[in-house]
Structure 1
Amino acid sequence: MNKTPSPTHEPLRSAVLQALDAGRIKAISLDLDDTLWPIWPTIERAEAALAAWLREHAPATAVLAGNPQALREARHYLQIKRPDLSNDLSALRRESIRFVLLKAGDDPELAEEAFEVFFEARHRVELFDDALPALEWLAGRYPVVALSNGNADVHRVGLGRHFHHSISAREFGVGKPDARIFHAAAEAAGVRPGEVLHVGDDAQLDVLGGLIAGLQVAWVNRDGREWEHAPLQPHLTVPDLMSLCNQLA
């Protein structure tokens, strides 16, 4: 996919002034983690599955990585040493496992199978109650493009039929808040960036990134957080996805 240059800040200035224009929306780009499901319970379950596998197949590594913080520290180390992995969370996780296997004296080739154990569990997500009915409603009215910096696969999660297309930072080469990935979502939906409503939970990656890219943006603020980026504002703030659907109906 063609990675076009980042836009000027003209769309950003207009976004400050405009309220949501629902009539202009022709497509939806949708964040995944913490928008459709809570991510940290999912990661904790996947790390527990990985730990159980390591205890059976790589006991020395299991001891070394007995605290999940050890693998997180390995990932942080590799993020510094391997900046080429910064947009590929799957590769970063796999190489972190390999790093700990080597450090423990176990076979580093086990990293592939160990990662698959983690990755399979990572896709056993528990959707927010509003997520599936809202996704069905949105997909029935707009082309919906998944837009994520994470490594979830909407087909492995079981939601693929609701998405027109899916774009990840790993596949595209840059992640949110870079304007180019938002523009790629618009291109995948066959519309202009200003005709896309981006929906996500992260104030900086989703909201500010979408605004700078010239999209309309709905902030899913499930926790009632304060908006800390005035004078910039999302076009719409909702406590859940069904509230978004009600606003668009």
Structure 2
Amino acid sequence: MSSSLSAIILAAGKGTRMKSDLPKVLHKVLGKTMISRVIDQAKQAGAQKIVVVVGYKKEMVIESLQGTDVQFAVQEEQLGTAHAVQQCEPFFQNWNGHILVLSGDVPLLTGETLQKLISRHQENDADATLLTAELENPHGYGRILRNADDTLKDIVEEKDADEEIRKIKEINSGIYIFKKELLFSYLKHVDNKNAQGEYYLPDVLPLMVRDNRKIYLQKAEQSEEIQGVNTVEQLKLAEEKLKRIV
């Protein structure tokens, strides 16, 4: 199996709940932008190529990352996470290996956790591996249904979950590693038949499960690592948590 590793970092959103004109990923946690922290995570995990998806005020994001040795894919219209990842396909035409998909607003994730995700993926020669977490209050998140061998059986969104499934505390973190050729192949089959009319990356997973692809699960030891920052309050909380780590 090829050990080549790259990363796609999703950083195109505005972040309307931050109540700021600054692109969300440029907000700082302990003096360093969230996107810079996520790039550091990808490099610590061993990513040889990093493509950042930019959109809202893209010039500002690109300018802030001068000298960081990353490439930029532009998502002109924000049509969802699957659409964002699709914009990166031209960067991987002549490249084979595995692609980490990260979010630019998850500043507490550690390189160590990513390395565990990658190891689980490689040891099992998985087609995809998903980082999960256990939350005391999983309300609003897609719930993970596991097979006995730690592979994914299904992800059930909150709105589709019955009372029994809502008791499950293991959730999808939105952080993944895929075999490159399968990622871009399955993205072509994702539709936008949802209330927002957007193309969502997690929708590739049921398609892969249907085709008996091997999707393994790796649970983060610290659930706070995977929590994204969407509001000013969450930004302050992230700062407080990071102070305890560093």
Superposed pair shares fold, TM > 0.5: no
Which structure has the larger Rg over C-alpha atoms? 1
Q: Which has the higher strand share?
A: 2
Q: The TM-score by the shorter chain falls in which range?
A: 0.3 to 0.5
Q: Which has the higher helix share?
A: 1
